[in-house]
Homo-oligomer: A and B are copies of this chain.
Amino acid sequence: VKLLTLARNLQRRKAREREGLFVAEGVRAVEELLRSGLVIHGALASPLLAESERGAALAAALSGRGVDGVTVSESEFASAAGTDSPQGILAIAEAPRRELAGLELGTQARLLLLDAIQDPGNVGTIVRTAAALGATATIALPGTVDLWNAKVVRSSMGALFTHPAISCGTDELESFVGRTGLVVWGADAGGETLGATPPPDRLAIALGNEGNGLSPFVAQLATRTVGVPIGPGIESLNVAVSAGIFLYELRL
């Protein structure tokens, strides 16, 4: 039951950062976790898991990999699961230590900067999109939801386990930009039409907060603002949809 307490504690960002651990919930996420090769610390199951064939196969795979597993009651499981429809399985794993200072860029690179994006579903979908469309890395700036939040993990569909998604502070980003010559363009519906200017070799697109747009720090860092032209009467695109269009248009 130490795993149960640990899983409950890991619902808080502070505990995740202190322990260097995170929780992956649901059959799909735990399957992806197994595939990723990240170190799995332990797994918590409820009796529900064994009821589906896919769940039973997953339980066998975890045990085959020597993962320390505990079965708890439905209500105990629910107390540790952060999502609405837990499927009776969660795994605790070591978060990869990724630092911006260690990221090397090739001659050409495409990155995303998440500037205070708060919805975990949006952030997870952006990481999934970045991985699918071949982005070099996704950088989460202060004010953005924790990348290892269980809902981000879940909606990234496993992409977070392998795609270089990195949290960093503003000073770190400034040094990185200085070292690599990375050019930052801010996304803004009122910006220059995407496609009008040839992109530089090393480019990051900064995506702002769902309600407030770009922060003053990022607005000052950006050399240009670009946008996808949208029709009248519609305020904006969803931020994950925007990310997809930017990465598609700017693909290498």
Contact = CB atoms under 8 A, between A and B. Distances in A.
Nearest to A231: B134
Contact of A238 (B129, B228, B233, B245): B129
Contacts of A131: 231, 233-234
B234 A128 contact: yes
A242 B244 CA distance: 8
A228 B245 CA distance: 11
Contact of A244 (B159, B162, B233, B245): B245
B132 A162 contact: no
Query: On chain A, which size bracket covers the interface?
Result: 20 to 34
A95 interface: no
A133 interface: yes
Contacts of A171: none
Given A133-B231, A236-B132, A125 B241 contact: yes
Contacts of A248: 228, 245, 248-249
A104 interface: no
Contacts of A132: 228, 230-231, 234, 236-237
Nearest to A233: B162
A29 to B, nearest CB: 13
A235 interface: yes
25 contacts: A121-B121, A125-B238, A125-B241, A128-B234, A128-B237, A129-B237, A131-B231, A131-B234, A132-B228, A132-B231, A132-B236, A132-B237, A133-B237, A157-B235, A159-B234, A162-B233, A238-B240, A238-B244, A240-B240, A240-B241, A241-B241, A241-B244, A244-B245, A245-B245, A245-B248
